[in-house]
Structure formats: C-alpha cells, structure tokens
Amino acid sequence: MSQTLGFLRMLFRWPISSALGVRLRLFLLRILSKFGRLFKSSDRGKDDVDKESFRGRNSDAFFPIYASRVPPSLLSTGDTLQILEPTKVESSIAESASALLQPTQTKSTPCPAQCSAVTLYRPEKIPGLSDTIQKLVAVSSTEFDRWGRNVKLPKLGEDIENIIQPMTTYFSNLHAPSSWQSFVHPEGALYFFDDSRTIPVLTDGYLYDSHIFDFIESYIQGIMEYISSYEITLPSQTVLVLEQRENGKCGYYFADHSHQCIFWLDDFDANSLVYEVKTCPTPSHLGQEIRSQYWFHNELFPHVHDVPDEALRELTDILTHAIGDSLTSQSPTVPYSLDVLKDMSALVKDVREQDGSTPGSACVIYRLLGTFYHERYLNLHGEQAARLNRHQSIHPERHRSLFIKIMSPFLLYGPENHLRKLVKISVDSIVNQSSWFQYLQKLTDEWKELTLYATVLLNANVAFLAIQSVDNAASDGHRSNAQRASYFSIITSIAAIILGLLLVRQHHTTLTPSFLVNRSISGLGLETLSIMYSLPYALLMWGTLSFLAAFSFACYSSGDKIVMVLISIAWVASCFLLLWTISVSFEDEAYYYLWPVRQWWRFEGFIRQQYNAGRGMISRSHDKEDDSPA
C-alpha cells in the first residue's frame, strides 16, 4: 500500500500546464490524503463507535436526544502538549478531563481558538500504550460493546434431561478464578472486579472461560509492566477497565474517581466523543463529555463504587431546575417531558431517603447523571455560544434552495409549514425524542383526516359523473370540460388516499429520531422530506379545486343566466374570504383595519411622502435661484 501511495504521489507531482490540470491535481491529492488517513486509522476497526446504535447501546429510553453521526475534524494542527508536575494532579475536573484529550494531527480547517491539551504526568518521549502492546485499543465507556455482543447458545432438543438432586436447596454461582470477584449488573450482565492489584481492574469478559481469562490476564500483565517500566504516576483512585472486542482486540480505559473522569495512556482520537457538536471544543466543553463518560462507566459497574452524596445533591438540583424550566418555558433544553422529569425527581428522592445506595438505584442515578452531562455538552453549557432554548441554533441559518422555492407554490405552500417545524425539531442535527414523537403524532392524525376527506371527495366525483346531464354534455368521442376536471379530481383524490395510508404506516412503525438526524445533515434532506409530508394535503387541495372547477363548468354550460349570476357571486365572495383568511398568516403588526385597507393606506402614504419630497426639492431649487445674484 505504501508503494502504491508513493507512486501516486510521484505521478501527481508531474507538472501540468493548464489551470484545469492544476485543479485536478489538487483534488486528487486531497482525495489521496483522505485515503491515507483512512488507512492509518483503520486498525481500530470495529472499535469505532457503532453509528447505527446511539452511544454504544440500543435503548431509546436511555437517552432521548439523537445527534448527527458525521464526525468532523474538530481540532487544529500544531497543538502542543503541556506536561504537569506530579503535584498538580489534583487539578479541577475541567482541566483534568480536557487534558486527557489530546488533539490529533489533522489537515482540517484550524479552529479560531487553540484547543489546549493537558495530560497527567508521565515521562516525555515514550511510546503510547497501544503502540507497545499489540491489539490493544483505547475506547470510551460508551463504546463498550456489552449491548452489542449478543452471545448465541445452541438450541438443545427435547430429549435432554435436567435432573435436580433430592434435598438441593442451594444453587451457587460459579467460583470466580483466583482473586477476581464476580458481580451481576441489575440488567443481568456479568462482570468481574479484582482489587488486589496495584491498580484495580474491571472487565465484563467471561472469565470462567479459560481462553478469555488468559486473554485478559495477558493484557493486564502487559499494561502493568508498561506503567512500571516507564514510571508513570496515576491518580490514587484509578481503575483499569478491559474488554475483549469482537474483532479479537482488547479495549481499555482508566477511570479516575478522584477527578470523576476517564483517561488513556495513548493519544485518544476524541472525534468518537465530540462529533455530535460541530464546533471547536474548549477544555471546559470537553470536560462535560468526559464527565458524562465517567458516569456511564459507573453505570456499567455499579457495585464497585458507591454513589457520592454530592452527586445525589447535584442530580436533585438538576432535576429541580429542569422541572421549573419545563413549567415556565415553551422550549426547554431538557430532553425529557415534564411528567417524566417529575417521576425522576420522585425516584431520586426515594434513593436519598435510603440508608445506602443499592446496585439498582446506583445504576439509575449514574445513568441520569451521564445523560444530563451529555445534554450539557450538546447545548454548550457554560460556553460563549450556549444553547438556551431547544430551537436555538449555534450555526448560521441555512438558506432555502431554489428547488423548494419552485416546488412550494405548486404544492400550495404546504412544504414551507412542514419545513419550519422540521428545522425547529432538528436544530443543529440534534433531535429531541419527545418532540419528534409529538410531531409524528400530529402528522399521522392530520394524514388520517386528509385520507378521510379524500375518500369523501372521491365519492362526490363519482356521483357527479353519474349525473345524466353531465354524462351527455359532451359530443361523441370527446369529454366535456366538467368531466375532464372531475377526472383530474378523482386521480388526485386516489393519490392522496394512497400516500396518506403509506405515510401513516411508515411513521407509526419504522421511523426513529435517527432518521430525522440523517435527513437534517443537509438542507436538501429536510426540504425533500417537507415536500413528501405535504403531498396528501396538496393533492387533496388540487382535487378539491378541480372538483369545484368541474361543478362550475357544468353550471356555466347550462345557459341559465340566474345560475351563472349566482355562481359568479359565490365565486367572488369565496375568493375574497379565502384571501382574507390567508392574509392572517402574514400579520406581524397591530391590527386596526382589514389587510387590503392597511395595504392601500401604506401605498397611499408612500405616494404622498414621495410627492412631498418632490415638492420640497422643487421649492429649494427655486429658493436658490431667487437668492442667486442677478
């Protein structure tokens, strides 16, 4: 591969005279550099974040905010590493968390402000832990593959006998090997803890299997030798976490309970953590996500660390503010509904009233803390551009494309209404689950009503065509205008019924918030979606208008003058009322008179202003002529 890349580089350095050739060469070099970074980072393999399952696990109730899965290159080039002395390990959470994230060398657009990197003390110019130990990769707590492992067991036949011996009253667990202790997560997962070592170790590998036991022990020995040989100083309350990955590699990270963060002994690619917010993160901003990772680590292993009283007080304060914000604001940034927040508050109150935290209650507390800290990260909590309400974007507003501007009038401006709502729900490609489901519920109710109306309109057209005078109005071999308009109405009504039924079925069963996240990556995705959502309404409206045209053709072709006068009066009155109703949508000032009157007075005032300005200019010119010397 390196020989191929070298040959291509030599080929692209060949001088090309034309401007088009220069552009082509730059484009190919850019593609080549991207492929080079891809091959360089491919050794993580399946250790990257699973883009289809949010934050490493399948649980819609786990975290009700879905964000973009496109990781940008956030960090600038040339960032230097600042080494702290061992006495400065007890720094604040923002510094220690951000310090553990060192910027990778990328060729992306530099950030306007340098993202400083800080790390715990270790000797200079030593190789990373993953560079020393083969098939060891740095992972985060949300990249843990526990929920995606899905171990399969062979299905046994009915002839297998399972006999319980007489007087069997005790069903013990398997004995954990050597100094390991086994624990069962409240959700049912088995994990092991060994606190007899210099650095306590956690793993959810099935150590009863000798192959997995030897696998984990070999990596523990290699990591301990690395730390000892390079004399690396770690915080006192550090825990090593190991996981056997599906691709045969071993994932690791360290959890520091003193600073409430996780860290690594490698240059960790933080794009797997920060890709959801497409800005250059500050150290304090990164600290929010690292704190979230720490709480999710404790959720994975709730038996080995008690819930601190300070964490319970902090969570109570977060929930109290979230409830108050939901009561007094129409667009709070909290990811849950008011009823759910009240249930959470009652749950936390019950936990605080207990004598001590149990594994089940600790798991829930850690999950809530991780969720709210990740929500703070998404909303840039404490930053200059902090998102203060759900509909506030931290990026420039997108402009409507020519496609939506052309299509919207043909669809009676229905896409504009849906587009505004979709943009509010998916601000910065972050979708709140409760808002999405509420919007889907309103959409499906609307489509059901439109389907019913389209069915009624279809019956009306069939009955209209069955009228003998309408059927006999056309000459042989041709159709009258009334029939043609009614045929058009029938087709649009049937299309509205079919599309309405399909959309209701899709949005009741298959579409999740991640669908809207993927659509919101580009403006065209939301625009085409808004067009699709407005099709049942637009087709029904065109069918209604064409049926009205068919009825009018039949009336005007009758030759009855009284009918023609009545129909004309009804047409004019209906058009006036229609325009009046539509004008309400454009009112943005105090209402005193009807819209046509306001527009006329505004036009008249403009004409009067221009007339007075013109007269003033003429009078000033005459005054100058009078004042000039003869």
Give the mean model confidence (pLDDT) for residues 19-31.
46
Sign of CA dihedral 348, 353, 357, 360: negative
Residue 602 in domain? no
Say what the pLDDT of residue 331 is: 87
Q: Do 476 and 351 share a structural domain?
A: no
Q: Do 321 and 252 share a structural domain?
A: yes
Q: Do 9 and 35 share a structural domain?
A: yes
* Domain boundary residue, one of 520, 555, 590: 555
Say what the pLDDT of residue 628 is: 56
391: which DSSP letter?
Answer: T
Q: Do 139 and 195 share a structural domain?
A: yes
Token digits of residue 154: 């062979």
* Domain boundary residue, one of 329, 360, 378: 378
Give the mean model confidence (pLDDT) for residues 18-42.
44
Phi, psi of 570 (to 5 degrees): -65, -40
Residue 155 in domain? no
Give Cα 494 distance to the centre of its chain.
35
Q: Which of 11-15, 144-148, 357-361 has the highest mean pLDDT?
A: 357-361
Q: At what angle do helices 523-556 and 561-583 cross, to 10 degrees?
A: 160
Report the predicted TM-score, pTM, of the whole model to 2 decimal places: 0.73
Residue 387 in domain? no
Distance, CA of 173 to CA of 192 (rounded, Å): 13
Residue 600 in domain? no
Residue 346 near residue 327 (C-beta atoms within 8 A)? no
Question: Per residue in 431-466, pLDDT tens?
Answer: 988 889 889 999 999 999 999 999 999 999 999 999
Nearest to 413 by CA among 531, 589, 306: 531
Question: Per residue in 99-138, pLDDT tens?
Answer: 333 433 334 444 543 333 344 445 566 888 999 999 999 9
Could you tell me the pLDDT band of residue 523, with boundaries at 50, 70 and 90?
confident
Sign of CA dihedral 64, 65, 71, 73: negative
Say what the pLDDT of residue 434 is: 84
Lowest model confidence (mean pLDDT) among 33-42, 279-288, 390-399, 593-602: 33-42
Residue 287 near residue 97 (C-beta atoms within 8 A)? yes
Q: Do 77 and 138 share a structural domain?
A: yes
Could you tell me the pLDDT band of residue 275, with boundaries at 50, 70 and 90?
confident
DSSP letter string over 419-440?
Answer: HHHHHHHTGGGEEEHHHHHHHH
Q: Do 188 and 59 share a structural domain?
A: yes
Q: Do 6 and 61 share a structural domain?
A: no
Say what the pLDDT of residue 135 is: 93
Residue 573 in domain? no
Residue 432 near residue 335 (C-beta atoms within 8 A)? yes
Q: Do 66 and 15 share a structural domain?
A: no
Say what the pLDDT of residue 535 is: 96
Token digits of residue 609: 């202003």
Residue 584 in domain? no
Q: How far is CA 459 from CA 420, 463, 465, 466, 582, in A?
A: 34, 6, 10, 11, 28
Give the mean model confidence (pLDDT) for residues 231-251.
92
The whole domain housing 29 covers 2-40
Report percent pLDDT > 90 for the chain. Answer: 46
Q: Do 144 and 78 share a structural domain?
A: yes
Residue 611 in domain? no
Q: Which alpha helices (H) appear in 192-281, and where do they start and end?
A: 210-229, 271-274
Say what the pLDDT of residue 447 is: 96
Say what the pLDDT of residue 472 is: 76
Distance, CA of 235 to CA of 100 (rounded, Å): 13
Give Cα 485 distance to the centre of its chain.
45
Residue 525 scores a pLDDT above 50: yes
Number of domains in the chain: 3
* Domain boundary residue, one of 363, 378, 393: 378
Say what the pLDDT of residue 415 is: 94
Distance, CA of 205 to CA of 191 (rounded, Å): 7
Residue 575 near residue 545 (C-beta atoms within 8 A)? no
Q: Do 83 and 27 share a structural domain?
A: no
Q: Do 97 and 31 share a structural domain?
A: no
203 membership: H or E segment, kind and range = strand 201-203
Residue 483: strand, helix, or coil: helix
Residue 449 in domain? yes
Question: Per residue in 172-197, pLDDT tens?
Answer: 888 888 889 999 999 999 999 999 99
Q: Do 418 and 372 share a structural domain?
A: no
Question: Per residue in 33-91, pLDDT tens?
Answer: 444 444 334 444 444 433 333 344 444 444 566 655 433 333 333 333 333 333 333 34
